[in-house]
Each structure stands twice: as structure tokens, then as C-alpha cells.
Amino acid sequence: MLEPTYQADVVVVGAGIAGLSAARRLTSAGVTTVVLEAAHEVGGRMATETVDGFRLDRVGRLLSTAYPELRRAPGLDGLVLRPFDPGVLLHSDGRHHRAGVQQRGARSARGALHAVRALAGAPRPGGGPRRPVAVPGRQVSVPRSRSGAPLGTAVDQARLGAALTRLAGTPVERLLSRPELPAAEALVARGLPARTIDGFLRPLLTALLCDPDLTTSSRCADLALHAFASGRLCLPEGGAEALPQQLARTLPPGTVHTGVRVTSVSTTSVTTAEHGEFRCGAVLVATGARAAAELLPGLRVPGFHPVTVVHHTTDEPPATGASLLLDADRGGPVAHTAVVSRVDPSRAPAGRTLVTSTVLGVPAPGVDTAVRMHLARLYGVPTARWETLAVRHTAEAVPAMRPPHDLRRSVRLLAGLYVCGDHRDTGSVQGALHSAHRAAAAVLADLGVSGSLHSVEPVPTARAA
Ligand SMILES: Cc1cc2nc3c(=O)[nH]c(=O)nc-3n(C[C@H](O)[C@H](O)[C@H](O)COP(=O)(O)OP(=O)(O)OC[C@H]3O[C@@H](n4cnc5c(N)ncnc54)[C@H](O)[C@@H]3O)c2cc1C
């Protein structure tokens, strides 16, 4: 039990990854910190439930090993990231095509050429042709030609490969100085061929941004593509909750209090529904955007992208390896899907298969049936006998980032009153962690504490499964 008169230097409201990461930075600078969380668990949107031994994420999590804050945020050095197979698998016309395979650090003309070959399915130096992967099942066959569909002609593919390689080598500051448009318009304005846009970039960005209409700012889209081109898509081992739990474990005992809802805040105190008032030297509101605006009237509430995640198990796993599968034909509700137990075997009991699929937007009634029908086409196997483990819908999953989007929204409202969370940066794990980094720096500066804020802690390793 907490004493109503409890004193701390800083009270953090919300134990999502932003609040926990900020608390970690504050406590390591010697600042006494209390984190108050309304729910009975830490993690916020990064929740994982266990059903029959399966580890099911509420979020269809796609992280990148290139997210800078996964390297920088103190407390995440024990996090294990499980990489997907390189690039993505694109489904088009009953076939699978691997796309977006990048050479890490390939910035020279020679490097770019190699990346283009990999993308184009052309022969690799010293190796055989990189052929598209056939969808297993009787109705499809391995294409004999070097058809690049849905990536377009060899020239289209070369341009795409060069563009991705260039993007990987472009400093983030340069990306952020480009003119800002809705992402869908920017793709066309940059002169890329329609087939490359529709067959690869649109489905990829839709999945990365959780935005089916690509109304997101082109700057956020560029950042997402930059992370894709310079790293590997990955999942946290054990489920999305591994990330907040790892952060919580590194806090001094007694820092986090769950089941405590904050009802109002000021620069020197917070009031809670359950335990009265807490006195403190500063308050950091680290809730989602809507709850933050309730506590801090006047704060902007953005629109949101709804996301539904569907988990299935089957005795006959599809033969797509540990790939992220996208539908270039947009022939159903699934934006992306993967045999997640191949990427991270700890998410399913031994010998069992977990397939996780993500639907964007408001789902139609009977979404599970529509998802199964779509998955049958995507994987090329019957899915009628697949068992549904869970269907989880989150209406306010990801804050919309329409242009003009301020990627560095203020985190210091007044001396003593601060705000962080994904709605202050980008609607992503990277954005939530980065906003926490900025907010903790602002709190420490105002408290006159010189912390080791910018020290780089050990990098979480992306270990191959
Ligand atoms: C379905 C889905 C899919 C997603 N896909 C991706 C993806 O592919 N890639 C990616 O990078 N990101 C993705 N995201 C976004 C990512 O999960 C979020 O950006 C991130 O988790 C936000 O963390 P946060 O700490 O800012 O907020 P939250 O996780 O929302 O944490 C806020 C916390 O504050 C608590 N709280 C609220 N009000 C109060 C109060 N009054 N008192 C006390 N506590 C309170 C809440 O209970 C919660 O625990 C997805 C999110 C969802 C839901």
C-alpha cells in the first residue's frame, strides 16, 4: 500500500514503454521516481497474453533492429530481438517474391548493384538465380521465368534497389528536411514506377505505418523505410511484453505501482483515485494521447489507426519460413502475416505453430472468416481447419501522423510538468522511447541534475533464431 503523503522527486504517470524508459533514465541519474499505472500490469499497448501455452501479442509487432532507441535506451541490453528472414515476401498472382533484401552498409555503386540484383531476382555473383519462392499448394507452381512481378521490369527493380540503398545511407536529418506530403502522394511525386509503388512500397509502408490509406507524413514514411532498408524487421523474443518487462526489472524495487489511476496532475503533485495525493518535485505524464489530454487539458488529441490482430494455430505449418508476408494484390483484409513461431519459437508450445496476421482499419463483422479465406490464398493452403486462438482489436492503436507532423512535439509544458509517449514523436516503439529520452533530459535539466543521459548502453542483440 502507498501512503497518501508519499514524496518523490518525480511521479511518472503510466507504465508503458515511454514511462518505464523515462523512469529508468531518471533513477539511474539518482532521482527518486515513482511510476503509477492504472492497469494491473505494466506495458500498456505492449501486452502479451498466454493462451494454451501460446504467447499472443495484442499488437502485430514489427520492430526494426535499426531503431536507434533500442540501442540507446538504458535497461534494454538484455532484450533479444528475433529477426524475420531478410526483406519481405510479396504475394502476387499466386506466387511469392522476395523483395527488399538489402546489403547492410551498401552505399557504393558496387554495393547498390548487388542490392539491385538481390531485389531483381538476377543471378548473384558466384551463385544461382534468386528465384521467387513458390506458394505451397497444388494450385500454384514455381515460376520458371525470372518474372519480377509485382516489382515491375528489371529497370524498375534496379531503380527501386538503388533508391533503397541510397535511403539506407541518407542521414536522418536530410530525410527530415525533404518537403512533406501525405506518403501516398510523395511516392508518386518521386517518380517511381506505378508497379513498384503498388506492388512493393504501398503494401510495405501500409504494414510499417499501420496506415492503409498512407495519409501519414512522408517524413515518417521515409523514417520507416530508412529503418527497413538499414536493419532487419524483428520481434522481441517471448512477446511484445518482453520490452516493458525488461525495463521494469531494471528499476529499483518499489518504483512501479500498478492499479493506481491518476485523476489530476499539477507541477508539484498528482491525485489518484485509490490513494489520494502524492507530493513531488515534478510530474511526467506518460500515458497515451487521449488520457494525456484528459490530465493536461489543451493537449492535442490526434486521430488514430485501429488495428486488429488475429492468431491461428495449425498442424500443417505453411512453408514460408520466418518471412513477413505481404499481399501486393491487396486481395483481402490481411495487411501482413507471418508464421511467428518460426521467427520466435518461444511463442508456441514445442511442435506447435503460431500464425499471426494483422488487419488495419475498422474490421468488418466476421473478420476471422474473411482473414482465413485471405490466408488460404496468401499461403496457398486450406485454412478451414485452422484453430483461432484470439482476435484482438485496438481502436486507438497507433496515433495518426498526418502532415504537417511535428516529430519533436514539446515534452516540457511547464517547469515541473512534462509529457511523453508515442504521440509526442512518431507512433511507434522508437517514437515512444525517444520521447521518453527527451522528457527525462528536460526533467533532469530543470532539476539541475547532470545525468549520463547521452551515454550509449550495450546494444540489444538481434540474434538469429
Ligand atoms: C495493435 C497495435 C499494433 C502496433 N504496431 C506497431 C508496430 O508494428 N511497430 C511499432 O513500432 N509500434 C506499433 N504499435 C505502437 C506501439 O505499441 C506504441 O507506440 C507504444 O507501445 C506506445 O507506448 P507508450 O508508452 O507511449 O503508451 P502506452 O503503451 O499506451 O502506455 C501508456 C500507459 O499509461 C497508462 N495510463 C493511462 N491513463 C492512466 C492514468 N490516468 N493513470 C495511470 N496510468 C494511466 C495506461 O494504462 C498504459 O499502461 C502498435 C500498437 C498497437 C496497439
Domains of the chain: 7-47+241-303+405-446 (3.50.50.60), 48-84+235-240+304-399 (3.30.519), 103-126+135-231 (no CATH)
Q: Calculate mean pLDDT across residues 444-455.
A: 72
Determine whether the shortest distance from the Cβ of 334 to ligand 1 is under 6 A: no
What are 376's three cell numbers?
Answer: 488460404
Please say whether the dihedral angle defined by the alpha carbons of residues 292, 293, 299 and 300, taken in this order, is positive or negative: positive
Residue whose C-alpha is closest to residue 214's, from 185, 186, 184: 184
Q: What are phi and psi of 61, to 5 degrees?
A: -55, 125
Picking from 104, 440, 107, the residue whose alpha carbon sits closest to that of residue 286 is 440
Enter the C-alpha cell of residue 447.
Answer: 532539476
Ligand 1 site, residue 432, Cβ cutoff 6 A: yes
Alpha carbon distance 16, 256 (integer Å): 11
What are the distances in angstroms from CA 125 to CA 154, 155, 159, 279? 17, 19, 19, 66
Using most ligand atoms within 8 A of CB, pick from 287, 423, 430 the residue to mutate for ligand 1. 287
Confidence of residue 5 (pLDDT cuts 50, 70, 90): low
130 φ/ψ sector (left φ>0, alpha ψ -120 to 50, else beta): beta
Of ligand 1's listed atoms, the one at least distance from the Cα of 435 is: 26
- pLDDT tens per residue, range 398-422: 999 999 999 999 999 999 999 999 9
Ligand 1 centre distance from Cα of residue 336 (Å)? 20
Say yes or no to pLDDT of 115 above 90: no
Q: Check: CB of residue 272 under 8 Å from CB of residue 262.
A: yes
Nearest to 213, CA basis, from 329, 356, 335: 335
Average pLDDT, the chain: 86
Could you give phi then psi for residue 413, rounded to 5 degrees? -85, -45
Q: Is 36 in the pocket of ligand 1 (CB under 6 A)?
A: yes
Q: How far is the CA of 136 from the centre of ligand 1 (A)?
A: 37
Q: CA–CA separation, 447 vs 33, rounded Å?
A: 13
* Whether the CB of 161 sits within 6 Å of ligand 1: no
**Upper half-sphere CA count for residue 49 (Cβ side, 13 Å):** 12
The preferred substitution site among 274, 398, 430, 434 for testing ligand 1, maximizing ligand atoms within 8 Å of CB, is: 398
**Is the pLDDT at 134 greater than 50, yes or no?**
no
Contact between residue 220 and residue 399 where contact means Cβ atoms under 8 Å apart: no
224, 205 contact by CB (below 8 A)? yes
- Is the predicted pLDDT of residue 144 greater than 60, yes or no? no
- pTM, two decimals, is 0.88
Which one of 12, 17, 34, 59 would you pick to mutate in the ligand 1 pocket, going by the greatest count of ligand atoms within 8 A of its CB?
A: 59
Round to whole Å and give the CA distance between 271 and 263: 6
Q: How confident is the model at residue 3 (pLDDT cuts 50, 70, 90)?
A: low
